[in-house]
Amino acid sequence: MDKKIFSLLKKERERQRWTLMLIPSENYTYPEVRKVVGSVLMHKYAEGYPGRRYYQGMEFVDQIEKEAISRAQALFGVPFVNVQPYSGSPANSAVYFALLEPGKDTIMGLALSHGGHLTHGHPKITFSGKFFPSVQYFLKEQPPFFDFQEILDTALKYRPKIIVVGTTAFPRLLPWRQFTQIAQKVGAYLLADISHIAGLIVGGAHPSPVPYADIITSTTHKTLRGPRGALIMVTKKGLEKDPKLGEKINRAVFPGLQGGPHLHTIAGIAVALKKAANKEFRAYAKQIVTNARVLAEELKNKGFSLVTGGTDNHLLVVDLRNLGIDGKEAAERLEKEGLVVNANTIPNDPRPPSRPSGIRLGTPAVTARGMKEKEMKIIAQMIADVLKKNQSVKEKVKALLASFPVDF
């Protein structure tokens, strides 16, 4: 036995059991998913696509990949899905390489500091901003938080070939319809990156981009509760615009960017998609949002200031400027007490990204443990006790978690 790694694994398992997982991009997957992800499927090479492989021995894994694809098609209501991207960032890369000419075609996305993702054309330090010209749009402080006229003006000026809508730290519903109108006016593809909110969408707790976007990418390990992986989907609208869109995306994933698909992950995705199609998952998705709303209201009642004033989804961003501490310090103090959140920039943050002015909290994982409104009130009180009164809540955190065991 590998004592070193196995003892660290055991410690990490206990850490996950005995801390409040409040990072909105994290979640607990299902025991069945962990089982297939740790299975013999890991031994198999399968470059290519079902029925068109470059290897032998495909009898069963072809059926697994086909099943994952058809479950995703049914659940999201889309005609084309690729289940092979290794994770969210490679999925976005594949879309760009499928549709854009490097050095020529422009990506337009939400600025990282305003809640966009690195892969949305963030300049200088990411492939998306190095290989492709890129331009960013920004959030406004007042609803609807997007200035559609300004975004249209930017789009008309820079003529992006892809407009990306997707966020990692935006606590409101995404206005798909307005973005599709802008994309149409400039002849751009609309890419909806639903990595954070895929579970909410299939659970009926956030509007779906399917009628509006041409292409949809998503991670599978956030609100969807699957293994680390990703999906690329093409909508009916996308296929009407370009009937070859699916083929282009398949070719960009393999052989364009990847080799053999991770069949263990693909099987895990299939299992998670089946779970997400259940009635219980709808209740779970709704409870995530209810919990986030309660957490937001309670924090506001205790004098915390929230970016956009609250939440409609699974996450909230606390602006700490009125407390005189930065996000990093707040996150570190909370972690010592067993509440795991992350430091996060706020729009127009006066501080550097390494010590931003906010923290980001989410409810997917605590909701997966079975927590409801009552527990959100307790968590809000604990956050206030730590950050405002410098009190220790370690024992209270343990007591709360003891009532909501996890299955691992």
45 among known catalytic residues:
yes
Q: What is d(CA 254, CA 47) in angstroms, rounded to the nearest whole number?
A: 8
Burial class (CB in 10 A: 0-12, 13-18, 19+), 250: buried
Query: Per rule CB under 6 A, is residue 344 in the interface with ligand PLP?
Result: no
Binding to ligand PLP in span 67-106, by CB under 6 A:
87-89
Spot the catalytic one: 193, 298, 319, 337: 193
Could you tell me the smallest distance in angstroms from the CB atom of residue 169 to ligand PLP? 9
- Local structure of residue 321 (DSSP, 8 states): G
Q: Catalytic annotation on 47?
A: yes
Active site residue 193: yes
How many chain residues bind ligand PLP (CB under 6 A)? 12
**Both tokens of residue 205?**
């707790």
**Candidate residues 219, 223, 345, 363; the one interacting with ligand PLP per rule CB under 6 A:** 219
Residue 251 phi/psi, 5-degree rounding, is -70, -30
> From the candidates 71, 172, 222, 293, which is the catalytic residue?
222
Q: How far is the CB of 363 from ligand PLP (least distance, A)?
A: 16
- Which of residues 168, 265, 308, 345 is near ligand PLP by CB under 6 A? 168
What is the rounded end-to-end Cα distance, in angstroms, of the chain?
20
For the question of residue 52 being annotated catalytic, the response is no
Catalytic residue among 19, 32, 44, 45: 45
Query: Least CB distance from residue 226 to ligand PLP, whole Å?
Result: 11
Which residues touch 115 (CB under 8 Å, ≥6 apart)? 139, 167, 168, 169, 170, 317, 347
CB-nearer residue toward ligand PLP: 30 or 86: 86
Give the integer Cα–Cα distance in Å for 339 and 342: 10
143 cis-preceded (ω within 30 degrees of 0): no
By beta-carbon proximity to ligand PLP, the closer residue of 106 and 168 is 168
195 interacts with ligand PLP by CB under 6 A: yes
The nearest distance, CB 199 to ligand PLP, in angstroms, is: 12
265 is catalytic: no
Using CB under 6 A, pick the residue from 117, 206, 293, 314 that binds ligand PLP: 117
**Is-catalytic flag, 293?**
no
Token pair 């994952």: residue? 68
In sign, the C-alpha dihedral spanning 259, 72, 291, 324 is positive
The answer to whether the beta carbons of residues 138 and 153 sit under 8 Å apart is no
The catalytic site residues sit at 45, 47, 193, 219, 222, 228
